[in-house]
Structure 1
Amino acid sequence: MSKISKNTFYGKTLIESHAQHQSRVRELSSSIHDSEEAKIKRRRLLGPSEFWGEFWRQQEALLVADQGSSNSMHTFVLQYDEGYRKFIVAHPEIYWLVDESRPKDQRCSYEVIPDGSPCHLYFDLEFGKDLNPSSDGSKMTKTLIDVFCAHFLEHWGFPCRRSEVLSLDSTTDVKFSRHLVFRVKNVMFKNNKHAGRFVKTICSNIRQSLLLDNATRSAVDNILSRFHKEDLAELFINTTKGKELFVDEGVYTRNRHFRIYKSTKLGKNSHLTVSDDSEYILSTTYTNKELGLFLDSLISYVPSTKNLILLEYQDKNSVDAIKYSKECLSQRRVYVRAEKKIESPYPDIDKFILDIVKPGKIREVKLLNNSVLLYAFIDHRYCANIGRPHKSNGVYWVVDLNNKVAFQKCYDHDCAGFKSAPRELPEKICFEMDKETDILLSSVPDPQDCSLCQTDNFVALEDDDLELANIDLP
C-alpha cells in the first residue's frame, strides 16, 4: 500500500493554520515566561536580601549580622543531629521560607536575641503537670498578661491589651509550656537587660504582695493591690524545690537563644503553635498569615524604626521612654572573639579553671571589685547540681580571690542559689598571690575606664552580674 503524504491527508490550508497556531503558542509562552522572569527580578529587587551565611561560631554570625543593614539581617540557630548547633545569618523572611520547607521533626530553630539590641517583652512560662494537676495554665497566663499590661500603662502610659500579646504553645502531656511576646505598637525595650529587670521586679513584688495584708499591699505595688490575692496565688506552682512562680526569670541573658514559631526542641514533638486561647490580632500587613505570625513572634526583629520608642527600666522609680536613634543601635555590644587565648590578669588561675572544664574553653572573664573573677565558657555546660550538662543554659565558675577558692554556679532557673563544693586554689597560685598582691591588684584596670576592659578577652562586670557571684564581698 502506498504511503499517503501529510499534505494530501490534512490539506494545505489546515497545515498552514496549524503552523500559525503553534507559532502563536510559542510567542505567548515566551511572553509569559519573560513576564514571570521580570516579576521574579522585581521581587528580588524590592524584596528582602537573599543573603544566607552559615557559621560554627556565634560571635562570627553576630558580627556579620551587625555589619549588614541595621534591621535586615538576623541571627538564627539551627539544632541538629546530637545537639550540634549551626548559626545562620539571613533575613527573617528568607529564613522562614527555608525553615518551613524542612521536615517537621527537623524544625529545631532558635532566634538569637543579640546583646544590646532592642527587643519586645517576652516570657517563657512552664510547669510540670504531674506536680500541678489542678493548675489552669490558660487562666494563669491571662492573669500574668493582665498584670504586666497594667504595669505598662502605669510606668510608661502605653495601653497594652491581650490582643497585643502573641501566645505560643508547646504544651505536652508532661509539661505546660508557653511563650509570650508583647507586641505593643511602636514600642520595644532598649534591650533584654531592661526587659529582664522589669520582669524580675514585678515577679518579686508578686511574691512580696502575697505575704502582706490587704491594707499594706498597695504600699509595695499599687497595681498588684487591684488584683485578687487568690488570682496571684494561682501563678505559683509546685516544684521539687517548693512553690515558685511559673515564670522562667533566667531567659534574659546575653545573646539568648529563644525558640521560634513552629519549631520544636530536638528529639521532641512539641512545636510552638498559636495557643487556642490566644487573643492576638495579627496585622493585616501580611498577605501570608504564617509568615506574619513568624515575624511577629521574633523578639528582636525591627522591620521599621520609624516612630519606634524604646523603654528603659532601672527600677520602679527610674523608668524612661526614649525615641529610637542610630546611637541606640551603636550601643549594641557584639562579643566577637579573635582566635587567641582568652586571659584575665591572672593567667595561672585561668589555667586552673581550664583544667577543670576541659575540653571547654573560656569565652569571657569578668572582674568584680578586684576580688572576684567570673568565667563563662564555650562547649562546657556540666552542672554539679544535676550531675550532667545542661541542655540549653550555661554554667559559670566563680573565683573568690580573697578566700582563694573557686566554685561552680549556673544560669538555669532550676539551679538558682546552687553552689558547688568549693575548690581551693593550688598552693603555687596562693603563694604568688600573697607575694605579689599589691602588684597584681594595682595592675588591675578600673572597670569604668580602661582599654583592657574593652578588649575581646576581658569584660568588666556590670551591675546585673553582682548577684551571679552570690558571695560575701568586702
Structure 2
Amino acid sequence: MKAHQKINAIGKLAKNTFYGKKLIESHAQHESRVKELSSSLQDREDKKIKRRRLLGPSEFWGEYWRQQEALLVADQGSSNSMHTFVLQYDQGYRKFIVAHPEIYWLVDESRPKEERCSYEVIPDGSPCHLYFDLEFTKDLNPTSDGSKMTKTLIDVFCAYFLEHWGFPCRRSDVLSLDSTTDVKFSRHLVFHVKNVMFKNNKHTGRFVKAICSSIRQSLLVDNTKRSSADNILSHFPRGDLAELFVNTMKGKQLFVDEGVYTRNRHFRIYKSTKLGKNSHLTVSDDSEYILNSTHKNKELGLFLDSLISYLPSTKNLILLEYQDKNSIDAIKYSKECLSQRQVCVRTEKKTESPYPEIDKFILDIVKPGKIREVKVMNDDILLYTFTDHRYCANIGRPHKSNGVYWIVDLHSQVAFQKCYDYDCTGFKSVPRKLPEKICFELDKETDILLSSIPDTQYCSSRQTDNVVILEDDADSELANIDLPASIT
C-alpha cells in the first residue's frame, strides 16, 4: 500500500473511531437534506422574482444625452408606463433617463441628498394634472403670508373646477410641496381630482392664465360691479385676492409663475433640489392632501402623486379641454388623444434657414453657441433657438435655466433677442441692423427668396409685434418651441 493511501486509511479509521459510524451517517443525511432544502428555496425565490417582473413595473432603464431620443424611447414603451426624467450632475451636465416611475424612485431615493437634482419632463401633448409654481422674494414682501395665499389660490381654482366642469375639488385633493428658503417662498401644487386630468399642458396653461387674468380684472372694478365682472371671484373677499399680488423688481405681480406651461417642460420632483442649493421639495406643513390608500409605501405614493403627467391607469379617465371661457369641454380618454404628442416628438427640426448668410450672422453673435432650430414664420420672420447659449441682454449675463431666442425680421431687416424667462416677459433687445450685403440681396431678390420658402413652414402670425409678445400666448407656435432647458 502506498504512503498516501495508508494515511487516508488511518485518517478514516481514526474518524470512524472518534465520531462513531452512526453519527457520521446521520451527519451525511443532514448535509444531503440541507442541500435539498437550499435548492428548493432558491427555486422558490427565482419564481418570486420572475413573478414580480411579470406583474410589477418594467425594470428598463435608459440613459440618453438628447431629450428628443429619450422622449421617443418613452413614447415607444409599453402602455403609459415609461416616463422621462432629467438628472443634473454637479459637474454641470445632465442626462435624460427613461424608466418606470417606481424604478426611478428606488434609484433616486438611494442617492446622497445633495445629488438628488431630478426633474420630470412633461411631454408635449400628453395628459397632465393641473399644476402650479408659486414664489416670491421674502425681502420685498416681509408681510406676505405664503401659506394663506396658497390656500386662497387653491380655493379659487377649485371653485372654477366645479363651475366649468362640475367636478368637486377640495384642498385635500391638492398636493402642496414646499422648497421655501430664507430668501424665497416657493411652492409646487399638483391637483389630483379623481379620474380627471387636462388634455395637455397647453389647455392647462390657457386655463391658469385665463383665471389669473380674471383675478387682475376683478381688482380693477368697484365692489358693486364685481358680481357682473366674474361671479366666482365675487364670492372671495377683495382683500384675499389682493394679497395674491407681491412686489417684484418690475412692480406688483401675481405670485403665480405663468411661464411653466411650455412644451416639454422640466418640473422638479419630490425630494429633489435645484443644483447647488439645499432646497428639497417636501410636503408643506399646511398641506391638507390625503394620500391615496392604494399606496402601501407612503414616500413612493407621494412621489408618484407629485408627477404631473404620470398615468397609472386610463380607465374612466376624463380629459379637460380649455380653449377660452366660451370653449370648455371634457372628453373621455382614448389612445387617439396621444396622437398629437407622437407627432410632436417625431417632428424633425431644421438647423438651417433658406438664408445661409443670415444663419452665419446669427452664429457670429451667439458663438460658441450653435443653432438648435430655425423656424420660418409666414414670409418674413425667422426665429432661432440655440444650444450652449443663454446670454440675455436684459440681465447682462446667461440665464441659469431658461433659454433665449433671436428674431430676424426680413421686412425691417433687423435682428433682436428675446427671452423665455418669465421675469423677462416683454423684453426686446436693441435691434441690430442686418449687414449691408444681406440687405442688398434681400432687396434685390426678395420675390425669389420669399417664394422659395416651403408652405409647410408657414405660421399664421405675421406682425413682428406679435412675435415680440408670443411668450404670453399659449396657443402660439413660438410659445411651444422645444426649449434647451426650461426647468422649475
TM-score scaled to structure 1, two decimals?
A: 0.91
In the alignment, structure 1 residue 74 sits paired with structure 2 residue 74: no
Sequence identity (%): 82
In the alignment, structure 1 residue 391 sits paired with structure 2 residue 390: no
Deviations 1:88-135 (A, max 9, x none): 111111111111111111111111111111111111111111111211
* CA–CA separation in structure 2 for the residues paired with 1:115 and 1:379: 23
Give yes or no for contact 1:76–1:87 (8 Å, CA) kept in 2: yes
In the alignment, structure 1 residue 157 sits paired with structure 2 residue 156: no
Secondary structure in structure 2 of the residue aligned to 1:331: helix
Secondary structure in structure 2 of the residue aligned to 1:257: strand
* CA–CA separation in structure 2 for the residues paired with 1:469 and 1:345: 22
Residue of structure 1 equivalent to 2:473: none
Offset of residue 255 of structure 1 = 0.7
Residue of structure 2 equivalent to 1:272: 281
* CA–CA separation in structure 2 for the residues paired with 1:460 and 1:357: 25
Residue of structure 1 equivalent to 2:7: none
Could you tell me which amino acid in structure 1 is paired with residue 413 of structure 2? K
Offset of residue 417 of structure 1 = 1.3
Mark the CA change 1:68 to 1:470 in structure 2 (over 3 Å): closer, same or farther: same
* CA–CA separation in structure 1 for the residues paired with 2:76 and 2:173: 31
Residue of structure 1 equivalent to 2:482: none
Residue of structure 2 equivalent to 1:110: 119
Alignment of 1:49-448 (within 5 A): 49-332=58-341, 333-335=343-345, 342-446=351-455
Could you tell me which amino acid in structure 2 is paired with residue 43 of structure 1? R
Residue of structure 2 equivalent to 1:456: none
Offset of residue 25 of structure 1 = 2.9
TM-score scaled to structure 2, two decimals?
A: 0.89
Offset of residue 153 of structure 1 = 1.0
Give yes or no for contact 1:52–1:90 (8 Å, CA) kept in 2: yes
* CA–CA separation in structure 2 for the residues paired with 1:59 and 1:461: 26
Mark the CA change 1:228 to 1:467 in structure 2 (over 3 Å): closer, same or farther: farther
* CA–CA separation in structure 1 for the residues paired with 2:321 and 2:467: 22
Give yes or no for contact 1:59–1:337 (8 Å, CA) kept in 2: no
Give yes or no for contact 1:366–1:460 (8 Å, CA) kept in 2: no
Residue of structure 2 equivalent to 1:469: 468
Deviations 1:395-416 (A, max 9, x none): 1112222211111111111111
Offset of residue 6 of structure 1 = 4.4
Offset of residue 7 of structure 1 = 4.0
Offset of residue 308 of structure 1 = 1.3
Mark the CA change 1:366 to 1:219 in structure 2 (over 3 Å): closer, same or farther: farther
Give yes or no for contact 1:152–1:160 (8 Å, CA) kept in 2: yes
* CA–CA separation in structure 1 for the residues paired with 2:466 and 2:162: 29
1:43 to 15, 29, 52: 52
- Larger CA Rg, structure 1 vs 2: 2
1:30 to 39, 48, 51: 39
* CA–CA separation in structure 1 for the residues paired with 2:327 and 2:454: 30
* CA–CA separation in structure 2 for the residues paired with 1:422 and 1:335: 33
Length, aligned pairs only:
458
Offset of residue 341 of structure 1 = 6.2
Could you tell me which amino acid in structure 1 is paired with residue 69 of structure 2? E
Could you tell me which amino acid in structure 2 is paired with residue 237 of structure 1? V
Could you tell me which amino acid in structure 1 is paired with residue 182 of structure 2? D
Using the TM superposition, name which of 374-383 and 259-268 deviates more.
374-383
Q: Which runs of no fewer than 5 residues in structure 1 stay unpaired?
A: 454-458
Offset of residue 184 of structure 1 = 1.0
* CA–CA separation in structure 1 for the residues paired with 2:38 and 2:452: 77
Give yes or no for contact 1:73–1:90 (8 Å, CA) kept in 2: yes
Offset of residue 9 of structure 1 = 4.1
Deviations 1:278-314 (A, max 9, x none): 1111112222211111111111111222111111111
* CA–CA separation in structure 1 for the residues paired with 2:247 and 2:333: 41
Give yes or no for contact 2:322–2:329 (8 Å, CA) kept in 1: yes
Give yes or no for contact 1:367–1:461 (8 Å, CA) kept in 2: no
Using the TM superposition, name which of 7-16 and 266-275 deviates more.
7-16
Could you tell me which amino acid in structure 1 is paired with residue 172 of structure 2? S
Give yes or no for contact 2:350–2:373 (8 Å, CA) kept in 1: no
